[in-house]
Amino acid sequence: MRKTIFAVAFYVLTSSFTSAQPVGVAFYHDLGALPYIYPNIESYYLSSYDRTGGNDDGFRGTYSQLYVDGKGEHVIFEEDGPGCVYNLWFTGSGRNLHWGKIRLYFDGEEKSRIEYEAKEFFSGQHPPFIYPLVTHAFISSGGFSCSVPMEFAKHLKITTDKTVGFYNIYYQLYKNVDVTTWSDKQSVAPLVNLFEQCGSDPKDTQEKIHMARKTVSLEHVGREGRPEEELLSVEGGGCIQYIKINPLYAPDTYSLNHIHLRIFYDGDSDPSVDVPIGPFFGSGLGEADVRGLFVGMSSSGTYYCYFPMPYHKAVRVTLQNRSNDKGGQFFCEIGYTKTPLRQQKEASIGYFGAHYNTAWPIVEEKDYVLFDYEGIGAIIGQVMTVEPVKPDRKRWWEGDMRIYIDGEEKPRFHGTGHEDEYQGGWSTFWLTNPYSLPLFGQPKTEGLINVFGQVNGSTTAYRFWPGKIHFKKSIKISTEHGNHNDTPANYSSLVYYYYVP
């Protein structure tokens, strides 16, 4: 395990320096610091969504640029720093991009610091834009995605030769933070190595890892109660470093959606985590090949979760069978450290939470809500599963993601459709080609049928947000189901987050 700098006591005297979350590639250097919540970060999402509320999200290019500059270049992003672009996504017809060159101008430079033909930028052949930090349509199934963090101290402008069609950009802006502008000289080798080793703990942990191993059997007991087995119970402060579960039987989708992981902090009677293990480890459609940076599973190996979960006084972890079927056996291992995280000046230490929601089906003409929370915290990622109510009830994927932060009336994040938000593209190609990557994926689809030339079926998808989406008062994550919420479907979701009580 790698080194972590956050040890010592949970509530020691605060340090004399003002803390700030590491920016860009540095964010990944110490993922053991995920629980820290900072007040000086704002997250944003720019996309080609139809500003009139319709579905012209990129088809005609109406909203596919902010403006055309004096050079005739289409400006798709422009912000004053300090900031960092964490992700760029595009899709194109024919599994290719036909809009010429992409250019990035940093800090008011007249000459672009990055300039590539679009197909070359996403080819993976030009360091630091290499796989798995960039993916093209045959890797992320219709999408062209770049996860190379690009920091800017004063200003960043991104342009293209022609109208790009569909696109989205996830980025952050900072207050009172010194940011060094991106350079192609900085090494991305550690980040590439991190992404290539998904399934191993991405955190650096210097502390001694204590392990609790246990085989449990969850037998259904009818009306007598819900069988529940304790996996871990520890007194004193510390931090869970990982949770691994290996089913010793072949669990079906129903079982994985009714065996719940429950985590109780500091003697609380109510769990902060009470969610089915299937979605928690990345799939709402039963076992799938999930190889995310933080969570994953497979039908032939261990399910893993590497989110750090700090606690102050105590922690208790259980598995509970909520199904009407006999539960099988599970071999479980939990690794934890006995030293709480160190307090930082102007930063709070959040508890880890996971929220599960369902609407089976949602038929109302309103958004499906994944998460609605009041308080202080930060979002890390989400898993969403959609199952059509009838084979011919398709185009649910046209629904736009919307994230409202701190009571803002207008969503800070507004997407262009389900496949776009999970970094794929074009529904039929997307559904017929599952994929699993470090920060996003669609690991499983099923029941696919051709409906008048367009494929329909069930899917489960996930996405993580590097840098986290911080909120100071509240957050609401929702999505349309179909254009104008006009398509009934069975929705379920799980959101990973940290919160300050």
Determine the straight-line distance between the first and last CA of the chain, rounded to whole angstroms: 30
Please report which confidence band the pLDDT of residue 300 belongs to, taking 50, 70 and 90 as the band edges.
confident
Do residues 230 and 317 touch, judged by C-beta distance below 8 A? yes
In percent, the amount of the chain with pLDDT more than 70 equals: 95
pLDDT number for residue 8: 33
CATH class of domain segment(s) 348-500: mainly beta
Fold category of 24-196 in CATH: Jelly Rolls (2.60.120)
CATH homologous superfamily of 210-337 equals Protein of unknown function DUF2961 (2.60.120.1390)
What distance in Å separates the CA atoms of residue 395 and residue 389, rounded to the nearest whole number?
A: 12
Do residues 456 and 448 touch, judged by C-beta distance below 8 A? yes
Helix residue spans in 182-312 (DSSP H): 189-196, 253-256, 277-280
Of 54-68, 277-291, 463-477, the one with minimum mean pLDDT is 54-68
- pLDDT average, residue stretch 407-433: 97
What distance in Å separates the CA atoms of residue 396 and residue 461, rounded to the nearest whole number?
A: 14
Do residues 31 and 16 touch, judged by C-beta distance below 8 A? no
3-class DSSP state for residue 99?
coil
Residue that is written with structure tokens 């969610």 in the block: 275
pLDDT number for residue 17: 38
- Helix then strand then coil, in percent of the chain rounded to 5, is 10, 45, 45
What distance in Å separates the CA atoms of residue 489 and residue 482, rounded to the nearest whole number?
A: 9
- pLDDT average, residue stretch 77-84: 97
Please report which confidence band the pLDDT of residue 4 belongs to, taking 50, 70 and 90 as the band edges.
very low
Please report which confidence band the pLDDT of residue 377 belongs to, taking 50, 70 and 90 as the band edges.
very high
Of 4-18, 172-186, 217-231, the one with minimum mean pLDDT is 4-18
The mean of the pLDDT values for the chain is 93
Which token pair is 349? Answer: 């230490």
pLDDT number for residue 2: 40
Of 183-192, 222-231, 419-428, 462-471, the one with minimum mean pLDDT is 222-231
Which token pair is 298? Answer: 């497979």
Report the 10 Å Cβ neighbour count for 199. Answer: 16
pLDDT number for residue 201: 97
b/e sequence 398-429, b meaning 16+ C-beta within 10 Å: bbbbbbbbeeeeebbbbbbbbbbbbbbbbbbb
Read off the pLDDT of residues 136-150 as tens digits, 9 standing for 90 and up: 999 999 999 999 999
As annotated, the residues of the chain forming the CATH 2.60.120.1390 domain(s) are: 24-196, 210-337, 348-500
Please report which confidence band the pLDDT of residue 14 belongs to, taking 50, 70 and 90 as the band edges.
very low
Do residues 126 and 116 touch, judged by C-beta distance below 8 A? yes
- The residue type of 451 is V
- pLDDT average, residue stretch 433-448: 98
Q: What angle do CA 378, 383, 388 make, to 5 degrees?
A: 140
